[in-house]
Structure 1
Amino acid sequence: MTISQSRTYSFSLSEWLLVGPACVLLFVWSLPGTIALRLALTLVLLIIALGQCRKSGIFKGFLADRVLWLTFLALSAWIVIQAVLFGIHTDAALKEFWGQWVRSGITGLIGFMVAALITRRQPERSGPLLAMAMTLTLAFQIGLHDVDTLWRWWHEGKLPFQETRIVENRTGISLLTNLLMAILCSEVMARMLYKRAYLPLSQAWLGLLFAMCIFATYVVGTRFGTMGFIALIISCVLVSLIAKRRSLKTTKLLAIGIIALACIGTFGWISVKSDQRWLTLIDTIHLALDTEHQRAWRDSSQPLPQLPSGVIVEHSNYMRIAWAKEAGLAIIDHPLGVGYGRNAFGDAMQLVYPDYASSKNCHSGILNFTLGVGIPALLMWLVFAGILALHGWISFSHYGNPAGLTLLFVVSGFFIRSVVDGNFQDHMFEQFMFLALMFNVLARQNQRSPSGESETGRDG
């Protein structure tokens, strides 16, 4: 869709009743003290979407994604069965199932239905506008953070590094930044590789949004947010090389690789220099893996060990590595899981160490999930995420649909981050399910013109 075309199309009243609350929900998800508001918005959206689905008869759209939904339902059934048969705290696991898993599934269902309803009328125009609404919502939140940071820099005389007052914590703004970067990178890839625009944004606005994301990533200074940014750039390079492998000359391939490596190296070097935690990581690994003789990882009252240099280990580095090792060992001991929940790691540790007195979450979403519901659930989750990623890749590589690449980036980004971050819970998981299922519908439109050019149009 071109920018001029977007100005001739607008949502109907019934569509605004979906898009408006969806944007508000996406905005408030990361804000502190908004649980009641989130629940209210979720309920309102669910009622409106179900009502419109019943009238429009688009439930047949679920048949096209029946394998995806059946996988999710099978995984949900396993979580309940596991809690009843193998859970060490069955009641707590079932409560977590309803409060965490089912709620996230509902937000995914809402995202799916909203996209299906919006795109039933002129999908080549309404789809990009829906994606644009999500993009602007994320950009507004990140823009507020950047403006507040610059204001404080001007007022206080120094850059408020690793701080945010807009969302609940640094991790929250980092996740939002990664999501927006996924959408923007997909748009740039489509314009570069296929000469078509999806979002009704000029090049100048795209550049501004990129600058906002880069500034937020640097200032917030979360290591995993930085790693996600670098992984996204690497993914873009790989997508470019795969898509144009037959038409690019060797010299151009080398030039692209060198430029990408230079950009990644520069940003990585700046990030390492601005975060001292990277500098002691290697020495910390040796100490953290010695969980048999070290006690600080399982007893928060114990002092942290010292590095060979005499410096106290960095808390986050030490704890995450030690917890990851013990979580892996516990999965081997309990391959069917100990019961679904955010505290699965703590429950497993108390079976091994009755005096365990530290975090009940190992800060690795995928490890905590596997420890809770077992290896069968992990395999089903990989199938579910793999289906989404495959839908995204086919949509982009075969049809040049940028929504497909966005879906691929959102899914892969969430999965990579779940290895090192506890994003498999609360609003982070709800947000992922909402956007992933929404972009799955947009990616599955797969519309092309007879000439082979996407109906989404050329760059305006």
Structure 2
Amino acid sequence: MTERQLMNVNTLGSGSKIWPVWLFLLVAIYPVPHTIALRNLLLLIGLLGLAWHWRATFQALTTLWRRSTWLTASAWLLVALTVWMVIHALLIAPLPTMALDRVRVDWLMPLLLLATGATVAIRSRNGDALRGLVIALALHIVLVAIFQCWQWLTLGHWPFGVMPFAERDYHSTLNGFLIALLLADRLSLLIAGTAPLNFSAGPAWGLLISALGADVLLRARNGTVVCIVLLIVAVAILLADSRCRKRWGLRIALVVGFAVLLGGMSVRNDVRWQGFSESMVIGIESNNLFWMTGDPNQLPFTPSGNPLEQSAYARAAWARQAVEAIARKPLGIGYGHDAFGRAIAEKYGHAGMGSSHSGWLDIALGIGVPGLALVIALGVVTVAAGWRRFRCLGDGYSLLLALTVSGYFLRCLLDGHFSGWRLALFTLIVGLLIGASAKMKEGK
């Protein structure tokens, strides 16, 4: 890369201190319920800002196109998935107009946020945009801790799982993004000697430890599973590097111990783990319809006589029904997060259900097995490309991308999170990471 080209890339960020502030406000407001109008207003302001400085924006997009060739396979898979959604809506879905509208709202909007995030990252000063993102995510977790502390002073016991707004899975999603970003940042520092988030050592380690500890406060079972898997992946990455094994052996042992502690605290504080396996088996094998009706008279009995763990039972029963619906219509019934509800209404005449609580199953129900295959391939190829780039060039942003995508796709397997604000926020984060990587000096 010539000195002139490098100067042009760096110039894109000059005078753009406002972008991290805009990004902080957008991420801070995005998961708050009933704020769709405010979210859209903030997004519109950002798009107008990019359009106002259209020359710099065009140059940023040109830079992104030229320097993101390592994601070419992912880009083609994304195009193929989008084309399949449109073809499916026009030729396969029983309600084409509804399916097309869902594609517009629930898919094209996240793609817009993907492009916006990448452009903003290039237009911002190095690391500023990502730091704004991390601070906004951390703010939500701090609010949870403060709220629970206030409740503790009022109630006399610590209210694990009680949130200041919305449900705990909202905050668990945010904490999952935060942990993936901070964990990858620390891994990059230990292995490649660079910290992409550009925090000093104390705040960076403090944020990571606090985010891991906050998982206990959230008491979100699937969030804990993803957190532990990410820690195991981090340990595997460190053990695969001979220098890290010798130099950071104690820290690796501490990470393993932390993962065990998180699992133990989750089992201790979340009563839903009790009877988990037994309730799962009943949900898979029983023909009881309690999962649909919620009628107490239809509550299944457990062989052991212990109370049914209704969450595990319902998720297993929903998964079974989803798999059976996919087997009946492997090409899907139309894109949308409520595809499971439509399948149940078609089979049982029972309206009002939504997600199957597995994003993977929701995708297969909506756009069929080919659509699910494209989604999984997109995730796998992106993670592999990010890992290869990190190993070859020491690009910490690509490692952040690999762990963020891995964590989110795993969470989508366990929860119906491949839609709505979660998908939009995920694509925004992915765009920021791709843009930050594109702004790196080549050869580093």
TM-score, normalised to structure 1, is 0.86
User: Distance in 2 between the 1:236 and 1:374 partners?
Assistant: 33
Per-residue CA shift, 1:157-214, capped at 9, x if unaligned?
A: 211111110x422111111111111121112112222333333323221232123213
Report the counterpart of residue 457 of structure 1 in structure 2: none
Report the counterpart of residue 204 of structure 1 in structure 2: 202
Corresponding residue to 1:57 among 56, 59, 70: 59
Residue 110 and residue 209 in structure 1: after superposition, are their counterparts in 2 closer, same or farther (change >3 A)?
same
Distance apart, 1:345 and its partner CA = 0.9
User: Distance in 1 between the 2:441 and 2:328 partners?
Assistant: 49
3-state SS in 2 of match to 1:298: helix
Distance apart, 1:222 and its partner CA = 0.3
Report the counterpart of residue 26 of structure 1 in structure 2: 27
Q: What residue identity is the alignment partner of 2:53?
A: Q
Report the counterpart of residue 366 of structure 2 in structure 1: 372
Distance apart, 1:116 and its partner CA = 2.6
Corresponding residue to 2:419 among 409, 425, 428: 425
Residue 92 and residue 354 in structure 1: after superposition, are their counterparts in 2 closer, same or farther (change >3 A)?
same
Report the counterpart of residue 179 of structure 1 in structure 2: 177
Per-residue CA shift, 1:414-460, capped at 9, x if unaligned?
A: 100001111111110000000012112223445367xxxx5xxxxxx
Q: What residue identity is the alignment partner of 1:396?
A: F
Residue 386 and residue 54 in structure 1: after superposition, are their counterparts in 2 closer, same or farther (change >3 A)?
farther
Corresponding residue to 1:286 among 281, 285, 288: 281
Matched, 1:396 2:390: yes
Corresponding residue to 2:77 among 71, 79, 93: 71
User: Distance in 2 between the 1:43 and 1:296 partners?
Assistant: 45
Contact 1:305 1:312 in 2 (8 A): no
Report the counterpart of residue 141 of structure 1 in structure 2: 140
Report the counterpart of residue 160 of structure 1 in structure 2: 159
Residue 150 and residue 13 in structure 1: after superposition, are their counterparts in 2 closer, same or farther (change >3 A)?
farther
Distance apart, 1:255 and its partner CA = 6.9
Report the counterpart of residue 45 of structure 2 in structure 1: 44
User: Distance in 2 between the 1:11 and 1:162 partners?
Assistant: 43
Distance apart, 1:376 and its partner CA = 1.7
Contact 1:53 1:113 in 2 (8 A): no
User: Distance in 1 between the 2:244 and 2:154 partners?
Assistant: 52
Report the counterpart of residue 121 of structure 1 in structure 2: none
Matched, 1:382 2:382: no
For 1:38-437, list aligned pairs within 5 A.
38-55=39-56, 56-60=58-62, 61-63=64-66, 64-65=68-69, 67-118=73-124, 126-165=125-164, 167-242=165-240, 244-245=241-242, 248=245, 259-291=254-286, 293-301=287-295, 303-351=298-346, 353-357=347-351, 359-437=353-431
Distance apart, 1:359 and its partner CA = 2.3
Q: What residue identity is the alignment partner of 1:133?
A: G
User: Distance in 2 between the 1:141 and 1:11 partners?
Assistant: 30
User: Distance in 2 between the 1:172 and 1:376 partners?
Assistant: 29
Distance apart, 1:132 and its partner CA = 1.5
Residue 406 and residue 53 in structure 1: after superposition, are their counterparts in 2 closer, same or farther (change >3 A)?
farther
Report the counterpart of residue 432 of structure 2 in structure 1: 438
Residue 48 and residue 74 in structure 1: after superposition, are their counterparts in 2 closer, same or farther (change >3 A)?
farther
Stretch moving more, 282-291 or 427-436: 282-291
User: Distance in 1 between the 2:292 and 2:103 partners?
Assistant: 26
Residue 26 and residue 448 in structure 1: after superposition, are their counterparts in 2 closer, same or farther (change >3 A)?
same
Stretch moving more, 413-422 or 39-48: 39-48
Distance apart, 1:53 and its partner CA = 4.5
User: Distance in 2 between the 1:247 and 1:264 partners?
Assistant: 19
3-state SS in 2 of match to 1:15: coil
Residue 113 and residue 446 in structure 1: after superposition, are their counterparts in 2 closer, same or farther (change >3 A)?
closer
Per-residue CA shift, 1:273-296, capped at 9, x if unaligned?
A: 1112112111112210124x2111
Aligned residues: 429
Distance apart, 1:343 and its partner CA = 1.2
Stretch moving more, 413-422 or 98-107: 98-107
Per-residue CA shift, 1:344-381, capped at 9, x if unaligned?
A: 11222233x23335623101111101110012212222
Contact 1:288 1:319 in 2 (8 A): yes
Distance apart, 1:337 and its partner CA = 0.9
User: Distance in 1 between the 2:401 and 2:248 partners?
Assistant: 26
Distance apart, 1:111 and its partner CA = 0.8
Residue 141 and residue 26 in structure 1: after superposition, are their counterparts in 2 closer, same or farther (change >3 A)?
same
User: Distance in 1 between the 2:417 and 2:131 partners?
Assistant: 25
Query: Higher helix fraction: Structure 1 or Structure 2?
Result: 2
Contact 2:275 2:306 in 1 (8 A): no
3-state SS in 2 of match to 1:289: helix
Q: What residue identity is the alignment partner of 2:336?
A: G
Contact 1:142 1:173 in 2 (8 A): yes
3-state SS in 1 of match to 2:291: coil
The root-mean-square deviation of aligned C-alpha atoms, in Å, is: 2.6
User: Distance in 2 between the 1:329 and 1:160 partners?
Assistant: 39
Q: Which structure 1 segments of 5+ residues have no match?
A: 1-8, 119-125, 455-460
Contact 1:19 1:130 in 2 (8 A): yes
TM-score, normalised to structure 2, is 0.89
Contact 1:146 1:215 in 2 (8 A): no
Contact 1:296 1:305 in 2 (8 A): yes
3-state SS in 2 of match to 1:42: helix
